[in-house]
Amino acid sequence: MFASPSSKEVLQCILQHKDNAYRLAYTYVRNPDDARDIFQEATHKALAASKSLKDVSHVKSWFYRIVINTALDFLRKRKNSVPYDEVTLETYGLSTHDAYRDFDLEHAINLLPPLYRSVVVLRYFEDMKIEEIAHVLNENVNTIKTRLYEALRKLRLFMNDENLKGGWQWITR
């Protein structure tokens, strides 16, 4: 068992997208150390699983999927004092109270449970197509569209509410 040709492709892909993969991880865990750990773990997993990558043209979405799954695993473990199942975790979001900065993105992200967060990040920040996002998240296109719509609805409430300007602390309370 020598390094498969695909592991080179995987390496290339990780190097090329490392910054954004890190940022993607960051949107889940919201602190630099954890994001770095997740990036590292996802890199190991991707290399170890590179044999299972059948088509190198999907390497980016495949790697992003590993990053997201690693981040979700991490969040799940951190929560393991309370036995959350995946659905609860992804529907209600997380209540990690890290130090908040006066930072729109952070608040916007906090507002969205991970399930919705992924679609917004991939769609608007990573400029991925709906089909690609479906591939990353292992969902069908319609589910992604529904989630995106829901996410935007939640965000719109947050963005348009004048009362909240400069006073984010009371939504995150």
Partner 1 sequence: MDNKMIELKRQYSEIPVPEGLDIIVEEAYRKHIHKKMLRIRWISATAAIVTLFISALNISPSFANASSKWPVIGPLAKVLTIREYKVNESSYKAHIQVPAISDLGDKSLENQLNDKYSVESKRLYTEFMVEVEDLKKNGGGEAGVESGYVVKTDTDRLLCVGRYVVNTVGSSSTTFKYDTVDKENHVLITLSSLFKDEQYIEIISNNIKEQMIARMKQNKNLFFWVSGNGQQESDMNFKSIEKDQNFYINHDNKLVISFDKYAVAPGSMGIIEFVIPTEVLADIQGDQEYLK
The residues of the shown chain that bind partner 1, judged by CB under 8 A, are 1-3, 7, 11, 14-15, 18-19, 22-23, 26-27, 32, 36, 39-41, 43-45, 47-49, 52-55, 57-58, 62, 65-66, 69-70, 72-73, 85-87, 103-105, 108, 121, 124-125, 131, 134-135, 138-142, 152, 155-156, 159-160
Q: Are 48 and 1 in contact (CB under 8 A)?
A: no
DSSP assignment of 98-147 equals PPPPS-HHHHHHHHS-HHHHHHHIIIIIS---HHHHHHHHT--HHHHHHH
Amino acid present at 35: A
Q: Which is nearer to partner 1, 49 or 93 (CB)?
A: 49
Q: Which is nearer to partner 1, 86 or 98 (CB)?
A: 86
Shortest distance, position 63 Cβ to partner 1, whole Å: 11
| Six-digit token string for 12 | 């290339």
Shortest distance, position 51 Cβ to partner 1, whole Å: 9
Neighbours of 44 (CB within 10 A): 11
